[in-house]
Amino acid sequence: MANPTTECIQPAPCGATSWETQLADAVRDEGELRRLLALPPRRAATAERFGVLVPRSLLGRIHPGDANDPVLRQFLPCDQEYARAPRFTPDPLGECSARVGPCLLAKYPGRSLIVTTGVCGVHCRFCFRRHFPYLTADAEAKALDQALAQVAGDPSTHEVILSGGDPLTLADTDLATIAERLAKIGHLRRLRVHSRLPIVIPARVTDELIAWLRGTRLTPIMVVHINHPAEIDSAVAAALGRLVDAGVPVLSQTVLLAGVNDRVEALAALFERLVDLRVMPYYLHQLDRVAGAAHFEVAEAEGRRLIAALGARLPGYAVPRYVRETPDAPSKVVLA
Ligand SMILES: *Cc1c(COP(=O)(O)O)cnc(C)c1O
Ligand code: SF4
């Protein structure tokens, strides 16, 4: 029989900490983040509306002492966020006008996007929804009822996209209920989930998550958001493997970001690694011009050059479509 005393005092191995605990325990203070990564404090640091949020499991994928680390640069506030950039606005995609309900975006034919929550597993400084008017938790539940009714009332909708924020910050019991309610809508065929959590907190890929994704009549599709090969450690590789092994098609989307992944070597390494993990690169996004993110912009001509260079070295299926979101087009605009 195992000795109960030793069992109790043994600390849980890092990978065994639940994703909920990891999210609750994430770093939420810029000063702490800088201390943990051996970086000097930032003089101009202010209380941010869009505050710091970095799960501790990500810290092991960042080089301490390097403020230009390509993973950290995505999450560390910097003074450039306050630089004047008149063409960068709070709602660059005109999403407020694509809102057909408090949490429903019907921008493209056949697909409806539900903003399930404003909560994320990490705060990306370039996020195009950093100024999005998210609802309070109470209003969210009502808005969801309304969104489901609207989807049910539109027979042209074949696919629902759960987005956010990050939909996988919701509990699996809640998500399973949403999936069940969606499956009852006869004209729906597919259920797509857009999330960054399998990358930033790989423990999020639980058996329960796989159970509701696999258990629904709808064809599930997972789109993971990832920007740099250093975001993939062994736990992330294993989490993506669990999804693919379960038969869930997994695609990736990446934002082209200056100082993060605007070199052909970084992009080639990312897409090749993803393909090796059976994740198909789907989109490379041109940065949306959201206020505070101008320092991340890469010129479109440079993006096209990068895609051409990738095409010259990778199999065709490993090169994502380079796209830009525009307020009025019937689809994302393919740049290369
Ligand atoms: C990107 C996006 C979609 C999905 O577009 P796909 O090209 O099918 O990936 C749907 N709705 C909105 C509002 C979007 O921004
Ligand atoms: S996880 Fe997605 S929605 Fe959340 S801050 Fe990052 S880019 Fe924005």
Nearest atom of ligand 2 to the alpha carbon of 200: 1
By three-state DSSP, how is residue 290 classified? strand
Ligand 2 pocket mutation pick from 52, 93, 122 by most atoms within 8 angstroms of CB: 122
What are the start-end ranges of the E strands in the chain? Answer: 99-101, 104-108, 111-115, 159-163, 190-195, 219-225, 250-255, 280-285, 321-324, 333-334
Q: Rounded to the nearest whole angstrom, what is the distance from the C-alpha of residue 196 to the centroid of ligand 2?
A: 7
Mean pLDDT (whole number) for 266-275:
98
- Entry pTM: 0.94
Ligand 1 pocket mutation pick from 96, 103, 113 by most atoms within 8 angstroms of CB: 113
More confident residue, 262 or 84: 262
Nearest atom of ligand 2 to the alpha carbon of 53: 5
| Ligand 2 proximity of 127 Cβ (cutoff 6 Å) | yes
| Ligand 2 proximity of 198 Cβ (cutoff 6 Å) | no
Hey, what amino acid is at 256?
L
Closest residue by Cα to atom 3, ligand 2, is 165
What confidence tens digit (pLDDT) does each residue in 146-183 have? Answer: 999 999 999 999 999 999 899 999 999 999 999 999 99
| Ligand 2 proximity of 120 Cβ (cutoff 6 Å) | yes
Mean pLDDT (whole number) for 85-101:
85
Closest residue by Cα to atom 7, ligand 2, is 127
Tell whether the model's pLDDT for residue 269 goes beyond 80. Answer: yes
Q: What are phi and psi of 220, to 5 degrees?
A: -85, 145
Mean pLDDT (whole number) for 200-207:
98
Joined together, the tokens standing for residue 133 give 């008017």
Q: What local confidence, expressed as pLDDT, does residue 11 receive?
A: 44
What confidence tens digit (pLDDT) does each residue in 2-15 have? Answer: 444 434 444 445 55
Q: Rounded to the nearest whole angstrom, what is the distance from the C-alpha of residue 5 to the centroid of ligand 2?
A: 43
Nearest atom of ligand 2 to the alpha carbon of 196: 1
| Ligand 2 proximity of 166 Cβ (cutoff 6 Å) | yes
Q: What local confidence, expressed as pLDDT, does residue 9 receive?
A: 43
Closest to 58 (Cα-Cα) out of 186, 221, 218, 228: 228
Rounded Cα–Cα distance for residues 335 and 182 (Å):
33
Q: Rounded to the nearest whole angstrom, what is the distance from the C-alpha of residue 148 to the centroid of ligand 2?
A: 23
* Ligand 1 binding site (Cβ under 6 Å of any ligand atom): 98, 105, 107-108, 111, 113, 161, 325, 331-332
By three-state DSSP, how is residue 113 classified? strand
Q: Rounded to the nearest whole angstrom, what is the distance from the C-alpha of residue 291 to the centroid of ligand 1?
A: 21
Q: Rounded to the nearest whole angstrom, what is the distance from the C-alpha of residue 25 to the centroid of ligand 1?
A: 32
The bound ligand whose nearest atom lies closest to the alpha carbon of 160 is 1
What confidence tens digit (pLDDT) does each residue in 6-50 have? Answer: 344 444 455 579 999 999 999 999 999 999 999 999 887 666 678
The bound ligand whose nearest atom lies closest to the alpha carbon of 163 is 2
Joined together, the tokens standing for residue 140 give 């969210």
Instruction: State the residue for tokens 């969801």.
Output: 144
| Ligand 2 proximity of 202 Cβ (cutoff 6 Å) | no
Tell whether the model's pLDDT for residue 275 goes beyond 90. Answer: yes
Q: What local confidence, expressed as pLDDT, does residue 94 receive?
A: 78
